[in-house]
Amino acid sequence: QVQLVESGGELVQAGDSLRLSCAASPRTFSTYGMGWFRQAPGKEREFVAASSWRGSTYLADSVKGRFTISKDMAKKTLYLQMNSLNSEDTGVYYCAATKKPFYSGSNFPAEYWGQGTQVTVSS
């Protein structure tokens, strides 16, 4: 069973940094592609970042240069380091996993989702 548990969301000021975490079951972490999506109020869920099980990483254009996706293999945890946050980054951030192959972030074929963690950036 695939289990994804996000944490780290909170209320921050514009310009601040924040790190989100996604704890995954061991087999999920080592053999699945994993990613981050977000959903702002009144908007559709959108891709933010992804990491294939081989270690290739992808970032949405809107976060390049500010966000970084990484994995801690020992802790079986996926991270999203977010710097220079602005109000456009506000939303619920979801961790996702997939067993299917993908070759770009925008085509990440999410199959499993976490419950989400709220990030609010106050300007």
The predicted pLDDT at position 62 comes to: 96
Burial code (b: 16+ CB inside 10 Å, e: under 16) for 84-122 equals ebeeebbbbbbbbbbeeebeebeebebebebebbebebe
Q: How many CA within 13 A on the CB side of residue 20?
A: 33
Which residue has 């959903």 as its token pair?
A: 39
Q: Are 20 and 36 in contact (CB under 8 A)?
A: yes
Where do the H-state alpha helices sit in 2-119? 26-31
Per-residue pLDDT of the chain (123 residues; tens, 9 = 90+): 789 999 999 999 999 999 999 999 877 778 899 999 999 999 999 999 999 988 899 999 999 999 999 999 899 999 999 999 999 999 999 999 999 999 888 889 999 999 999 999 998
